[in-house]
Amino acid sequence: MANKRIFLIFATMALIMAIAYGIPEAMRLIDPPSATEPPSEVGYPEQQQQPDYLLDSISQAPGTGTIISEMLAQTDDSKPDASIMQPGVFMCEEARELFLATPRMEGEDVREYQEALARLGYHPGTADGIYDHEMSTAVEAFQKEQRLLPTGRLDIPTQSALVRVYEDRATPGRPREQDQEQDPDPDTGQDHSASPPNTIQSETRILINLYAHQLTVLINGKPHKTYPVAVGKKQTRSPLGEWKIVSKGIWGNGFGTRWMGLNIPWGIYGIHGTNKPWSIGTAASHGCFRMYNRDVEEIYRMVSVGTPVDVVGDHYLFYAKLPGTYKKGNRSQGVVTIQLRLKQLGY
């Protein structure tokens, strides 16, 4: 009888959590990997994009990063409390091959390629996310124009060519870097230098405005250059807070040409190039910050490991419903949001 009562209590608690926070949040338990190696992306269900609201002044308050760093320094050996983690924002991009198959291949990536080909003057049919005969014919036409083997298959070489052509039109007159940095390890591509070649020798800081979809490089506190970026979409928001670059590397097609990992403790997040340049300027990522490959190559030489990265924007309404009880050692966007709110109130 006692066992039955215990079972009913736990079942009731699980039902309440599922109703209050949604089944994915109630059930998803993830032990996040390291930010130094960006893995392949996992899929998430698409939802209608919710517009951003007003720029939240509390996220611009200085010193939040110090509070966060102190909290994490005291709990280095403790694992994140999975019960209060936001739903999996741990992967950044994917690069799968697409082709005509039965049943038809479909997904958000197919729709994005359909839209990109249409913007370049090809005719892939309706942007419905289904890789059909019209899509295959459009890919074949693109391959012929680019002197690739006309298979109608969106393989990695074809995707790379599509990215290159799209970026040529989006950022005219700006050549891509062809030379490789001398510092990265030739076996791993990891940059072990504290100061990469041609780094601007002054106080450099990065400011990312989620509301404006912009990344600004600050030199000695003054704006040096601003770039458009893609940020996290509604269900996989980019993390607010004061962070820093903890790793740099040269990566392959899935992440564009450069990767700069951030010290966000509940997942893998970074600033990187992209194989989806048509998403730049929108809220479309799984939490990372996508840039045109030309742009990320440019800032890669301006920053070093340890460069501060401030992420500002209005997520307070989104994170207003904070689940559970927070305790020492918890790591999540909810903790950061509470810290920012307390700072605004003068604590």
Whether residue 85 is found in the same domain as residue 113:
no
Whether residue 241 is found in the same domain as residue 326:
yes
Residue 221 sits in a domain whose CATH number is 2.40.440.10
Q: Is residue 103 part of a domain?
A: no
pLDDT in tens, 242-272: 899 999 987 655 557 899 999 988 888 999 9
The C-alpha atoms of residue 163 and residue 278 are separated, in whole angstroms, by: 9
Whether residue 248 is found in the same domain as residue 266:
yes
Whether residue 40 is found in the same domain as residue 127:
no
Whether residue 83 is found in the same domain as residue 201:
yes
Residue 122 sits in a domain whose CATH number is 1.10.101
Whether residue 157 is found in the same domain as residue 62:
no
Out of 170, 196, 217, pick the residue that ends a domain: 170
pLDDT in tens, 44-60: 223 233 333 222 332 33
Stretches where the chain sits below pLDDT 70 are 1-95, 173-201, 251-255, 314-326, 329-334, 336-337, 339-341, 344
Residues 245-254 as b/e (b if ≥16 CB within 10 A, e otherwise) read: bbbbbbbebb
Q: Is residue 268 part of a domain?
A: yes
**Cα dihedral angle (323, 328, 330, 335), rounded to 10 degrees?**
60
Per the structure, how many domains does the chain have?
3
Closest to 309 in 3D by CA, of 252, 254, 238: 238
Three-class SS of residue 112? helix
Whether residue 22 is found in the same domain as residue 39:
no
Instruction: Determine the structural domain holding residue 118 and report its residue range.
Output: 108-170
Report yes or no on whether pTM surpasses 0.85: no
Q: Is residue 118 part of a domain?
A: yes
Active site residues: 272, 288
| Tokens 């479309």, residue located | 284
